[in-house]
Amino acid sequence: MVSFKAYIASSLDGWIAKKDGSVDWLHSETYQLENEDFGYSSFMESIDCIVMGRITFDTVKQFEPYPFERVPVVVVTNNPNYQIESKHQISIFNRPLWELTQFLETKGYQNVYVDGGKLIQSLLKESMLDAITITQIPILLGSGIPLFGETDRVIELKHRKTKSFPNGFVQNEYEIVK
């Protein structure tokens, strides 16, 4: 059984990136804590693959070094002609979202890290997202790309854990109630 888990940061006012898609504010020296990765390494050790929206992937593939050397990435896109040449383990998924679970099962993936605002929103809409960890950064961006969009129904969450950090980060873990 595939479990979809999002792990993402947002500004206090709910934006995951600036309007231009940049996330430079996440990497400010103001927020750096020595020997602290905010649970990211532990989270990454718990997953089999990453499922990422194409817009997010187009940003990530520009990072030097490429951050996902050791984990397979599945890029979700609506563009049937989207292609990527890479030496890394990257698959492209451009079928209906409800087919994603079966696609991942055929590859033996069970614990899936979901990344990308629109993909998270789509998985929530389709009742496919199982859990979400949100790290709120103590900054107000005022505008940008939202973590959550409009929904056609109320989506209940069950709080699992909250952790605060000396730099002002507050991390909340939720299970999506289905």
pLDDT score of 101: 97
pLDDT at 87 over 90: no
Q: Which of 22, 39, 23, 19 is nearest to 134 (CA)?
A: 39
Q: What band does 71 get if pLDDT is binned at 50, 70 and 90?
A: very high
State mean pLDDT over 96-110.
96
Q: pLDDT (tens digit, 9 = 90+) per residue, 39-69? A: 999 999 999 999 999 999 998 888 889 899 8
Per the CB < 8 A criterion, the answer to whether 79 and 58 are in contact is no
Q: Which carries the bigger pLDDT value, residue 169 or residue 60?
A: 169
Q: Which carries the bigger pLDDT value, residue 45 or residue 88?
A: 45
Token pair, residue 56, equals 């997010």
Q: What band does 27 get if pLDDT is binned at 50, 70 and 90?
A: confident
State mean pLDDT over 82-106.
93
User: What is the per-residue burial (b if ≥16 Cβ within 10 Å, else e) of 107-120?
Assistant: eebeebbbbbbbbb
Domains along the chain with CATH numbers:
8-176 (3.40.430.10)
Per the CB < 8 A criterion, the answer to whether 134 and 147 are in contact is yes
Per the CB < 8 A criterion, the answer to whether 134 and 8 are in contact is yes
What is the SS3 assignment for 138?
coil
Task: Give the amino acid at 45.
Answer: E
How much is the mean pLDDT over the chain? 94
pTM comes to 0.92
State mean pLDDT over 69-75.
95
pLDDT at 149 over 90: no
What is the SS3 assignment for 146?
strand
What is the SS3 assignment for 29?
helix
What is the spatial distance between Cα 14 and Cα 26, in angstroms, rounded to a whole number? 13
Q: What band does 85 get if pLDDT is binned at 50, 70 and 90?
A: confident
Phi, psi of 91 (to 5 degrees): -115, 155
